[in-house]
Amino acid sequence: MLEVLKKTYRCVCTIEERFISFTLCAITVLIFVSALGRFVGRPINWAVDISLLLFAWGAFLGADVGIRKNRVINVDFLTSRLPMKTQKTIAITWSVIIILFLAVLIAYGIPLCISNFKRQFQNITLSYSFVTASLPVSAFLMIISTSVRLHLQITDFPSTLRGGGRDAA
């Protein structure tokens, strides 16, 4: 059962990374084509709405990839000088706080998504809920990534550090 979950998680991660690549390319093309259209007097108004939708999903899913690959901003010039045990305690505490914060984002994001169901984009007949759904969905995926990281912090803390986990003491 655990192997099936791991394989499913890896598949979701691969799909997520490919979708983020797609969103970046699509946003670039849509904005470029929209600018060209305005230049020649034929604006493509829906391109901005689609770009907004893709940007929301790409940004939030990109945050999940950043968490999973340990590529988020980390200010550790003070904590890296502390003993390894203290660093571990701080890291675990922050991971738990992050998970709680993400749970709050889900709790407030779902009602936001529901309340925006009838709201539509300006130039396309698509519900704005598709944009607001990016928050709770991505927060859920970030909880999974942070939980995996938390498990590693508890079981094998030095491997979660960028510098290889040398004890400063």
Residue 36 has pLDDT above 60, yes or no: yes
pLDDT tens-place string over residues 108-129: 999 999 998 888 888 888 899 9
Residue 169 has pLDDT above 50, yes or no: no
pLDDT tens-place string over residues 95-104: 999 999 999 9
Mean pLDDT confidence for 77-82: 85
Residue 165 has pLDDT above 90, yes or no: no
Look up residue 139 and give its two tokens: 């927060």
> Do residues 52 and 30 touch, judged by C-beta distance below 8 A?
no
Residue with tokens 């590693």: 152
**pLDDT value at residue 162:** 65
Residue 163 has pLDDT above 80, yes or no: no
Cα-based distances in Å from 115 to 112, 119, 120, 155: 5, 8, 12, 41
pLDDT tens-place string over residues 37-52: 999 999 898 998 999 9
C-beta atoms surrounding 115 within 10 Å: 12
Look up residue 162 and give its two tokens: 């960028």
Q: Is 164 left (phi over 0), alpha (psi -120 to 50) or beta?
A: left
Q: Supply the mean pLDDT for the chain.
A: 90
